[in-house]
Amino acid sequence: MQTITTVAELRRALAEVRSADKRVGLVPTMGYLHDGHLALVEASRTQCDVTVVSIFVNPTQFGPNEDLSTYPRDFLRDQELCRDAGVAIVFAPDIQEIYPAQFETFVEPGELAKPMCGAFRPGHFRGVATVVGKLFSMVQPDVAFFGQKDFQQCAVVRMAIDLNLPIEIVTVQTVREPDGLAMSSRNRYLSEEERRRALAISRGLFAAADKFRSGERDVEQLIAIAKERLNTVDRLQYLELVDADTLKPAESPLRRTAALCAAAYVGSTRLIDNVILSLPTPQRDSRLND
């Protein structure tokens, strides 16, 4: 495994890879890796010849009162996890490599960035879109892998399609702890008592998903089922059922795949989670071919 810190060195290394006609996968991360990140690595290794993991805590996606200075970091542990997982290249640039002096060009996302997290974290997705765009330019991967837990982020990075970038975007299912809590680097902030209360988020979402599978299609009813189980969080920031493609509020009765998304504070820690409510695909009657 190579650990690379500059764009110039990264491009030299990847030029050799591409000269051998190998498929490159990118897993963008902010480090402090966990099994959710490693699931992205495994997906990349399954679909690609060479996997690049970027590790960069991106300052432009943090607001003025958010946890940039305290965001968990353990680079040596991250390197070891990547090595054990079969990563070919860890790209770990410093801030000057990503945002050099006089940097002033940003990627401005569209309507997908406005609801949910976008409404509560002004500028967040501008920072996400910018750093992801820069990583796409630096690595030029064939495929990029993102986790479903960050559902709105997965929608925003579809900008690759808008910008005609020859990059396939793959979303990997949320990885959870055995008790259902979505894996997140921020889980380490939770005390033992807070972690127990945080389980209300996934349990509320799962309860609504169960009701959906039983046939419930009313949007308000599904939201209410989830919300009544969220009374142990300290502050529910949002709980929204949105169209999975447009992120606009879903309409009753549900006729399109939707995402039930939540953001809540437990103690001082902000956690997000979601479940996808997928409508069954109509089965084609084989007798039509008789």
- CA quadruple 178, 183, 188, 193: dihedral, nearest 10: -50
Taking the CB of residue 257, how many other CB atoms lie within 10 A of it? Answer: 13
Please give the DSSP secondary-structure letter assigned to residue 60. G
- CA-wise closest residue to 73 among 61, 55, 88, 87: 55
3-state SS, residue 48: coil
Other C-beta atoms within 10 Å of 114: how many? 13
CA separation, residue 266 to residues 50, 128, 196, 285 (Å): 39, 24, 10, 49
DSSP assignment of 174-230: PPB-TTSPBP-GGGGG--HHHHHHHHHHHHHHHHHHHHHHTT---HHHHHHHHHTT-
The active-site residue out of 4, 31, 37, 171 is 37
The residue type at 193: E
Beta strand 143-147 with 50-55 is unpaired
Half-sphere exposure in the Cβ direction for 5 (13 Å, CA): 5
The reply to whether omega before 72 is within 30° of 0 (cis) is no
Whose tokens are 């410093």? That residue is 94
CA distance 194 to 73: 21
37 assigned to active site: yes
| Number of helices and strands in the chain (H, E) | 10, 9
List residues with catalytic annotation. 37
